[in-house]
Amino acid sequence: MIQHLKLEDILQMERFFRMNLINALTGFKSVHLVGTQNNQGVNNLGIFNAVFHLGANPPLIGMIFRPLTIPRHTYENIKSSGHYTLNMVHASFVEMAHQTSAKYEAGTSEFEACGFQPVFKADFKAPFVEASPVKIGLSYVEEHHIAANDTIMVVGRVEHLFFPREILGEKGHLNLEKTGVVAGLGLDSYYELSKLGRYSYARPHEPTKKIQ
Amino acid sequence: MIQHLKLEDILQMERFFRMNLINALTGFKSVHLVGTQNNQGVNNLGIFNAVFHLGANPPLIGMIFRPLTIPRHTYENIKSSGHYTLNMVHASFVEMAHQTSAKYEAGTSEFEACGFQPVFKADFKAPFVEASPVKIGLSYVEEHHIAANDTIMVVGRVEHLFFPREILGEKGHLNLEKTGVVAGLGLDSYYELSKLGRYSYARPHEPTKKIQ
């Protein structure tokens, strides 16, 4: 049985029901722990699931912030320091990573509160998550205000990248399934992955081939 | 052995090696087939992997387009018609979905060329993919030009939503794992998912609990 919902139906839903439903429409998605430091030296850590590819040359990554109607420590720290880290979430610490979404009081480090070890690498001015298998250090480039709902897109450039050498394929692919990194769904669900396949570059009038 | 790469290393890489590597940094991600129609009535279909949640009230979804240095039929059709569809990719048609990324000549419908049946529903002015388990109809809201690399973010509002009734949880969750929808990695790899767990709303000083 197919359910059909219209915009009016969605607008009339109970708030949390609608949040769960609409958050699922963007499907399975990446989850990253974002590490920052404020100008008092407090390390902040938060889980984000709206992080997306913008381009490879230069290497740019976008992410979405909720409206700034309440304090957003991660956003404020990125603006004041100019630097932040993205750290992929491993299946072994999903619960701790989800816990970083709690609204801790200002001055509390989610690293400590949730059991993560911060680590500083390559003189980069934001904390990485020691336990994360893939760590990315970014610098702030630009931002855009989305008029329709007051969210903010921040664009960052990759400055540093750390990953286990054995997951790098000969053509530059990162075989993330070998690291135990998870995907998210909606606001509160996490998934493990198994590879269906990698496919050849698609050309008109030639069927795509499965490579591996 | 941990590999450390700096921005300079990334900028000096061979183009396709860099594309594969940087596209993997945003982790496992959703893949959607985007359906549009041009003003000659030709149905266009393309696979996109930079689609992300912007907000639930109103229900808004963002997506990224590559620079407009070559014709981008999907973007042009969205601008001229004001409407487009997002259709989730099922494991049974991953190969066909990947094939829509081939650069077909103008006037060719990727629906026909790649073996998809278009379907029009609820008087909506863009084609849905008949075979897709979750279909979303959107209207164009606004766009932003990312100065750093000439990409474009398009914001759309959900107007119609179709999904199998049995995947809707009592609190609004969509249990996508029951539909066989896949996740993507990089430019050419696809994955099946298995649920690790759903976790309770996180609050300070209360450990997160696994709900199911």
Sequential pLDDT tens for chain B (212 residues) = 999 999 999 999 999 999 999 999 999 999 999 999 999 999 999 999 999 999 999 999 999 999 987 778 999 999 999 999 999 999 999 999 999 999 998 889 999 999 999 999 999 999 999 999 999 999 999 999 999 999 999 999 999 999 999 999 999 999 999 999 999 999 999 999 999 999 999 999 888 889 87
What torsion, rounded to 10 degrees, do the Cα atoms B135, B138, B143, B145 define? 20
Q: DSSP code of B22?
A: H
Euclidean distance between CA atoms A89 and A91, whole angstroms: 7
Check CB contact of A68 with chain B, cutoff 8 Å.
no
Which pLDDT belongs to residue A106? 83
User: B-chain residues within 8 Å CB-CB of A168?
Assistant: 3, 21
How far is the CA of B94 from the CAs of A144, B88, B102, B114, B129, in angstroms? 33, 10, 14, 11, 13
Residues 77 through 106 of chain A touching chain B, CB cutoff 8 Å? 86, 88, 91, 94-95, 98-105
> The tokens of A171 are what?
């053509």
Closest-CA residue of chain A to B182: A28
Shortest Cα distance from A39 to chain B (angstroms)? 23
Closest-CA residue of chain B to A8: B159
Would the pTM of this model clear 0.95, i.e. be above it? yes
Strand B2-6 and strand A128-129: the pairing is unpaired
Check CB contact of A119 with chain B, cutoff 8 Å.
no
Which pLDDT belongs to residue A206? 87
Per-residue pLDDT of chain A (212 residues; tens, 9 = 90+): 999 999 999 999 999 999 999 999 999 999 999 999 999 999 999 999 999 999 999 999 999 999 987 778 999 999 999 999 999 999 999 999 999 999 998 889 999 999 999 999 999 999 999 999 999 999 999 999 999 999 999 999 999 999 999 999 999 999 999 999 999 999 999 999 999 999 999 999 888 889 87
| Partner-chain contact A203 B101, CB within 8 Å | no
Closest-CA residue of chain B to A109: B204
- Upper half-sphere CA count for residue B113 (Cβ side, 13 Å): 26
Which pLDDT belongs to residue B195? 95
Check CB contact of B148 with chain A, cutoff 8 Å.
yes
Choose among A23, A81, A69: nearest CA to A48.
A23
Which among B18, B25, B142 has CB closest to A147? B142
Check CB contact of A178 with chain B, cutoff 8 Å.
no
Euclidean distance between CA atoms A130 and B179, whole angstroms: 36
Which pLDDT belongs to residue A41? 94
Q: DSSP code of B110?
A: H
Which one of B6, B21, B25 would you mutate to disrupt binding with A, by most A Cβ within 10 Å of its Cβ?
B25
For residue A15, how many other CB atoms are within 10 A of its CB?
A: 10
Which among A5, A59, A144 has CB closest to B153? A144
Which among A102, A134, A194 has CB closest to B203? A102
Q: What is the 3-state secondary structure (H, E, C) of chain A?
A: CEEEEEHHHHHCCCHHHHHHHHHCCCCCEECEEEEEECCCCCEEEEEECCEEEEEECCEEEEEEECCCCCCCHHHHHHHHHCEEEEEECEHHHHHHHHHCCCCCCCCCCHHHHHCCCEECCCCCCCCEECCCCCEEEEEEEEEEEECCCCEEEEEEEEEEEEEEHHHECCCCCECHHHCCECEEECCCEEEEEEEEEEECCCECCECCCECC
